[in-house]
Amino acid sequence: MYIEGIADQQKNIFQKIKGPSVTIAFGKDGKPQKPAFKFAQANQVKLEELVVEKVNKGEYLFAKKLIKGKKTKSLLPEICLNLISNIDLPKTMRWGTTSMRFIRPIRWLLALYNDKIISFHLENINSGRLTYGHRLLSPGTIKINNVDEYFHTIKQQFVIIDPNQRKKMIYDQIMQLIKDKNGKEYIELSLLEEVKNLVEFPRVLLGNFDENYLKLPTEVLTAVMIKHQKYFPIYSKDDYLLPFFAVVINGNEDRYKTTIIQGNERVLKARLEDARFFYQEDQKTTEPNIKPLDRNIEKLKNVIFHENLGTIYDKVQRLIVLTQKIAEQLGVSDNLLPILKRAAQLCKSDLVSEMVKEFPELQGIMGKEYALLEGEDNLVAITIFEHYLPRFSGDNFPTTLTGSILSIADKLDNIVSCFVNNVIPDGSQDPYALRRQSLGIINIILLHEMHFSIDEIIDLNIQLLIELINKSRLESKNHINNINTQTIKDFIFQRFRYLLLEKGYKYDVIDAVLAKNPESIFDALLRIRIIQDIYHLPNFNKTITAATRAYNLSKNIQEVKIDCSLF
């Protein structure tokens, strides 16, 4: 932490302290009584320095006390100690014999105020003016005489303190390598953010791998490089993967450059060889007339979906029913129904593939790849992949109708299943990301303008789970009576309300529409849009008054005939 412009001393302040009421502090003759004397004495002021001020409950005595500002150097030790002790860390542990929990062992403490040491003690370490540079390129202690020389001195010892500077160094070096290979100017920014914090003095080296590995799906290669090895893949200008990668190392010494590159190439080759083995194993058939993905459906019976809620196979059977019901409500054409059913049957089959076992982030991606290899309809393959979308904030949404329907069914089943199993988000706790999945459902519905009754789908989902629980005698039966369609719908519509507020719709307009408990999310949006559009019109209030009166007059009438001649 580096701070500029700190004053040498705090400002003096006057503290106003409230004392007894005037009626208690003074007698009827106006002379000060014992409470007044005691109040003045307690605050170390003279009696005549007390003032009377009027507050809500009457007049009271006040003492104005001068509090002199402390020297900054006397405050900094405690401030530094508190700053370190109160850092919010995701994971901590105790190191050695100390009782303090921290993310890493604390080896030394450099703390300076101008050219003076900020002296404090943390566990068994005293602060001082000694620090260390790069552990390999600059071993040994470094003495820092003052704050001004720190950054220059530490840089000479091969440590770049500013993370943004490290980020720029990495970015510029990778871009130069891409330019040298006539590649596409693209860098995985999330990886860049991660890697900048893994090195002190970044240097980027270029490695390569056998072109034969390019026969593997691009997503497999990038998963190995980015997720597992922290390498930056390099693409051609027409978006094809090139047999090169950029690796960021910590240091700039040339002596071991070749050895480092060869070592990273050797590690990547082993990883890619494993991936190729898994890819080939997944395509092997043990029975002549059964494709691997179909064979995997049976294997899903051995994969637990959720505690007390059966297997992934059971979930797939629900998805088949749910997608057909949604499609029926949407009036999906008959030629899409078998595609939707086939995609629902196969959508989880890649979970038991060797590739996804090794690289879980490839679920859906490998399902699509294997479906295409096995000759499935192209739309079936796309639907399998798209049913996981969106996977995270900012991710793409399904582009196809079938992908959208299967995605909604999958996410809704996850939500309903958790509610049935009494795993309901509470405060900041949402271990199964049900809020994010609710937003995914809502955004897909709004994006594709889908009119259907979410009440009916939730109710059907609950009934399917009840049948499973009763049939299998699962323990979730204890919770099922506490869950109903409205409870789950309220959870989803709460996310819908937040989304609408973020988009700028007025809260009273939203609440007015949602108070009618609409079954269709998109229909609710259309109503909110219409009311919002006329909200500021001059005759809006008069229109509401007239509509309310007409409603009150007609609400008890069983049948209303519309006379079109009046319009």
* Shared-domain flag, residues 234 and 303: no
- Is residue 118 situated within a structural domain? no
- Give the confidence band of 326 by pLDDT, cuts at 50, 70, 90: very high
Give, as one character, the DSSP assignment of residue 138. Answer: S
The pLDDT of residue 480:
62
Written as one string, the DSSP assignment of 451-504 is ---HHHHHHHHHHHHHHHHHHHT-TTHHHHTT--HHHHHHHHHHHHHHHHHHTT
Exposure string of 204-225, with b = 16+ CB inside 10 Å and e = fewer, is: bbbbebeeebeebbebbbbbbb
Q: Whole domain around residue 51: which residue ranges?
A: 13-67
Cis peptide before 139 (omega within 30 of 0): no
* Shared-domain flag, residues 347 and 384: yes
* Shared-domain flag, residues 233 and 268: yes
- Give the confidence band of 316 by pLDDT, cuts at 50, 70, 90: very high
* Shared-domain flag, residues 356 and 398: yes
Q: What is the amino acid identity at position 454?
A: I
CA atoms within 13 A on the CB side of 277: 8
The total of other beta-carbon atoms located within 10 Å of residue 309's CB is: 23
The pLDDT of residue 285:
82
Of the residues 26, 46, 67, which one is the last residue of a structural domain? 67
pLDDT at 104 over 60: yes
Domain count, the chain: 3
pLDDT tens per residue, range 216-257: 999 999 999 999 999 999 999 999 999 999 999 998 878 889
Task: Give the CATH number of the domain where residue 451 resides.
Answer: 1.10.3210
Q: What is the mean pLDDT of residues 394-422?
A: 96
* Shared-domain flag, residues 174 and 267: yes
* Shared-domain flag, residues 317 and 423: yes
* Shared-domain flag, residues 45 and 167: no
* Shared-domain flag, residues 417 and 468: yes
- Give the confidence band of 476 by pLDDT, cuts at 50, 70, 90: low
Q: What is the mean pLDDT of residues 120-147?
A: 91
Of the residues 263, 282, 301, which one is the last residue of a structural domain? 282
pTM: 0.80
